[in-house]
Chains A and B, each alone.
Chain A
Amino acid sequence: MSDTDNILDIQNYSLSYASKAGEVRILDDIDLHIKRGEVLGLVGESGSAKSSLANAIMRDLTGKVANESGKILLCGTQLVGLDDTAMQDIRGNRIAIVLQNASTALNPTMTIGDHVIETLQQHGRDSAEGLKSLAEDFLNLVGLPDPAAMMKRYAHEVSGGEKQRVVLAMAFACEPELILFDEPTSALDATTAATLLDLFIALQHRTGVSALFISHDLGVVSSIANSVAVIYGGRIVEHAASDELFKEPRHPYTRSLLASLPRPSDTRTGRQLATASSRAAPRIGPVPACIYAGSCAWHEPSVCDRDVVRLPSGVDHAVACVKSVDALRQPQLAGNPAARVFAPGATTDTPVLALQSLSVNYGRTGFLASLRGRSSVVHAVNDVSLSLSRGETLALVGESGCGKSTLAKTLAGLVSFDGKLLRSGSPVSAIDQDYRARVQIVFQNPDSSLNPRHSIGTILKRPLVLYRKTLNARERDVEVGKLLQRVQLPEHYADRYPHQLSGGEKQRVAIARALAAEPEVIICDEVTSGLDASVQASITQLLRTIQSDSGTALIFITHDLAILRHLAHRVAVMYLGELIELMDIHELDKPPYHPYTEALLSSSPSVDPLTLTRRIRLHGSLPKRTERIVGCAFESRCPHRLGEQCATQRPPRQSSPDGHEIQCHIDMQQLSSHTPVWRDLETRTET
């Protein structure tokens, strides 16, 4: 293959940073190329240095470079060694980058138009109609409605998805040869991310630009990339065509990654998630022969540690492993459909927690505003009725701003509410100590929910002192040990501090703290978001174990629908503060769905060789949160909108005999006849 075919050619590129502990290897002998028009996906878990590669290409190194060697060639031009001034002509002009967080990627003091114009201007672009009209063209290209009006807006005046479109417009503005996408959809809602992903694909096809698409989400990568490289500990461990790699992963690391990803077909096949997570790769000290040796189940020192294991070049499916594929027969995880069927708590029991017409409003209308008929009250949760049985897991799903976290905080007694709340059948008049002991909450981010100055032991003793007053000091110590055991952490962790633990371990401590009070209900607010797939799988597994041991009811709040099949008994879908659907987990795989649920399920990309996901994309904008919605909240974006009645009348709550509830004007029968979101590709189950 000649060099000219390759837009980007990375040859034996290594990078290390200097630190107090010694030299830290960041990227290790990277060999990658991207052909004209090719989209290369780069996947890896947190800490795999996937973003560092993008930074290296952009010559925007974040650390103090100790050693850098090898080549990064853009159409034959060596980028390594170029200084900032030389890179100015390349950045944004020949290589553009789309960063993860669109919400902070725009200057708050500049209009969107100025952003696009300055980029064009910097790189000497112009058109006969002038820069302004050229900029409008690009805003139009990325599907922003009314570009002329958009030009005059500021970042805070547009939505997250629109911001990412603006960033995309700037990336395409100078017709670069290469675009680097660094987790471009990770911070967006599923339905927004799906439309943006479609837009990337369409624009890429139209312009034929080459791209490096970096993500931790294998589903997203599989839907956009032609070929995929898997990075672990700064080394590429596997590189193949996208279909090939996802169908037949070879490297043990890739396999473990895929094995811990939930699939839509899991209910059907009874597939279990692998929970063995990979350890952090060694970065300091002697160079290991195989970077994955520390976590590999097939590691044999006599075979694997003889020489540094490199990615072979010149093969279509390159694997950095000395063992042959046959030697690596995956020990199959028992696929037992029967094991998947939960026994939900007997519904005749008094629900452990029940809410009736619960509403939460934020903010208040000021005196002057009320005079002018303006309201700034946000209806965060609106008229929600739910019940939770003993030993049941209720999943609460929806996108950002749908009120799911507010509902969680309300149930935890952190937010005041209107409506009725019943615990074991008796109304809760005030959130007291007793209520708090019975209903515990685990927050999303253990970094901020665990006090960094307290040891794990101290953290776990607090609820024991508060809620279990009969225990004496000795018994408390014993209990801390038991709690750690229950969340599968070694007992000596009691002496450690949060910063000495990994993200998954910290979350386990947070769960143990909730368990300490011996609660009847644990509310898990996005507890697995932000964790790597394998850690997510093991936390899910842990929650299931805890539930079956203690009969605790769980409210599991998430925006990630894929994991539900492995955890939930029932699913409640929220949209703009309203509960629009409530169903049994078994009903997740087939219609009827609320039109929003249908779109949400369709938007979550998955790597599943057994299933094809139907594409439904949402358009239109959300109403303002301070508006009082008369009709259906989803009316402005609904693909199945019936007509005027959707905007003017509140949709009825329809329910089927088996307890499936949908709040929609469309008849449930009618909804049942919709094409399923997932279509089975093969009928036979995997063995």
Chain B
Amino acid sequence: MSLGFLLKRLSSLVVTALIVSVIVFGITQLLPANAATMILGEYATEDALATLNARLGLDQPAWVQYWHWFSGVLHGDFGISLRTGQAVGPTILSAFGNSAILALFALLLVSLVSIPLGVLAAAKRGRPADMGVSLLSYLGVSLPEFVLATLLLAWLASPAIGLFPASGYVPFSEDWLRALHHIALPVLTLTIVLTAHVSRMVRSEMVDTLESDFVRAARLRGLSRKRVLYRHALPNSLLPAITVIALDIGYLIGGVIVVEEVFSFPGVGRQLILAIQNRDLPMLQAGALLMAVTYAVANLLADLAYGVLDKRIQFE
């Protein structure tokens, strides 16, 4: 992998972020109400509105407003929340940190569970183990996360069983054991849904690879079944799986929003929902931008991982 490639990808990341920032800003501009009407409420007088607009700079052309907002973002200033009156930056970043913990745990678990499941299904293709995995996958894929989350909540967090807390959050710095206890159900929900997807992907890739010439050649050199499976087939099947996992990060972001709402988990998704409900524009802009950038970074990482793992790819 060359430095040139890295620079190229990083610059395209920056361009993506810029475009996203314009879109995010543009959409909030299209909304019928602006910050001034939000603050002053429905019955505000024209005069009051005009004064506030002037004070907030909302009477200026859109591109000037955009520039103010964007240069602020570059300085780490995301504006002031219309709902709480506090700075958006720290709030959204701490919420983002909480969500990241949720997502990372889910990704880790997904990788640990779905890859072996996919391999198992491919190796036992057409046999009961394969069908079992397929059945579970279908189930997982077809269950919307809010249904699954609600089910888990009603079952494992019910007063009768009470295995896990139904909501809330404890920071890891405070008590990591209780923190884990609190994130268990949200993570579990995300894991189940994603595992279904990724394991199906790994299975189909494995099935293809197992039929390829070099796997057959390896088998016909008398290599053990295990070696053929793990040394020859698996590494070549994981590459496409990495792309899928990276794309799933996009899904994870959406999933996180729903799951956080169900479990009242103080993450970026919950912040976003609150922001939408309260028309808290600065918070909405910051959250949307952050998520888009996260997605772009995840894809970049997947590309880089691909480059490191697949020896054939030469980045020019």
Contacts and interface: CB of A to CB of B under 8 A. Distances in A.
Contacts of A92: 220-223
Given A101-B213, A122-B227, A109 B311 contact: yes
A167 interface: yes
B221 A170 contact: yes
Interface of A: 58, 60, 84, 87-93, 96-97, 99, 101, 104-110, 118-119, 122-123, 154, 156, 167, 170, 366, 368-369, 376
Contacts of A109: 235-236, 309-311
Contacts of B236: 107-109
A122 B221 contact: yes
B220 A58 contact: yes
Contacts of A91: 219-222
Given A107-B232, A108-B236, A119 B311 contact: no
A104 B220 CA distance: 14
A376 B316 contact: yes
A107 B233 CA distance: 9
Given A89-B222, A96-B221, 7 more contacts: A88-B223, A99-B213, A99-B217, A104-B212, A108-B214, A109-B236, A170-B221
Contacts of A99: 213, 216-217, 220
Given A88-B224, A118-B227, A156-B312, A107 B218 contact: yes
Contact of A90 (B212, B222, B232): B222
A142 to B, nearest CB: 15
A91 B217 CA distance: 10
Interface in B280-295: none
A103 to B, nearest CB: 9
A110 B232 CA distance: 8
Contacts of A101: 213
Q: Output the residue of B217, B227, B232 with the most chain A CB within 10 A.
A: B217
A154 B312 contact: yes
Contact of B220 (A89, A97, A369, A376): A97
B222 A123 contact: yes
B125 interface: no
Nearest to B221: A92
The 7 closest A-B pairs by CB, nearest first: A92-B221, A92-B222, A91-B222, A104-B213, A368-B4, A109-B235, A105-B217
Contacts of B124: none
Nearest to B238: A109
Contacts of B227: 118, 122
Contacts of A122: 221-224, 227
A366 B5 CA distance: 11
A368 B222 contact: no
B316 A366 contact: yes
B199 to A, nearest CB: 21
A106 B216 CA distance: 10
B68 interface: no
**Range, interface on chain B:** 20 to 34
Contacts of B215: 107
Contacts of A366: 4, 316
Contacts of B310: 108-109
B216 A368 contact: no
Interface in B52-85: none
Contacts of B217: 97, 99, 105-106, 167
Contacts of B212: 104
Interface in B180-204: none
A106 B213 CA distance: 8
B9 interface: no
Interface string B131-148: 000000000000000000
B222 A60 contact: no
A368 B214 contact: no
Contacts of B311: 108-109, 154, 156
A123 B220 CA distance: 12
B220 A119 contact: no
A96 B311 CA distance: 28
A84 B225 contact: yes
A93 B222 contact: yes
Contacts of B219: 60, 91
Contacts of A369: 4, 316
Nearest to B8: A368
Given A110-B231, A369-B4, A88 B222 contact: yes
A368 B219 CA distance: 44
A340 to B, nearest CB: 42
Contacts of A105: 213-214, 217
Interface string B223-267: 111010001100110000000000000000000000000000000
Name, among B215, B218, B219, the residue most crowded by chain A CB atoms within 10 Å (CB to CB): B218
25 contacts: A84-B225, A88-B223, A90-B222, A97-B220, A101-B213, A104-B212, A105-B213, A105-B214, A106-B214, A106-B217, A107-B214, A107-B231, A107-B236, A108-B236, A108-B310, A109-B235, A118-B223, A118-B231, A119-B223, A123-B222, A154-B311, A154-B312, A366-B4, A366-B316, A368-B7
A193 B216 CA distance: 23
A96 B214 CA distance: 14
A116 to B, nearest CB: 10
Interface in B144-179: none
A52 to B, nearest CB: 14
Contacts of A368: 4, 7-8
Contact of B216 (A60, A118, A170): A60
B213 A60 contact: no
A84 B218 CA distance: 13
A119 B221 contact: yes
Contacts of B232: 107, 110
Nearest to B213: A104
Contacts of B222: 87-93, 119, 122-123
Interface string B297-313: 00000000000011110
A152 to B, nearest CB: 11
A368 B7 CA distance: 10
Contacts of B214: 104-108
A101 B217 CA distance: 10
A595 B208 CA distance: 44
A104 B214 CA distance: 6
Contacts of B8: 368
Most chain A Cβ neighbours within 10 Å, of B213, B227, B231: B213
A369 B316 CA distance: 8
Most chain-A CB neighbours within 10 Å: which of B219, B220, B309, B310?
Answer: B220
A98 to B, nearest CB: 9
A104 B311 CA distance: 15
A63 to B, nearest CB: 14
Contacts of B235: 107, 109
A542 to B, nearest CB: 34
Nearest to B236: A109
Contacts of B225: 84
Contacts of A123: 222
B39 to A, nearest CB: 49
Nearest to B2: A368
B234 to A, nearest CB: 9
A186 to B, nearest CB: 14
Contacts of A110: 231-232
Nearest to A87: B222
Contacts of A97: 217, 220
B202 to A, nearest CB: 16
Contacts of A89: 222
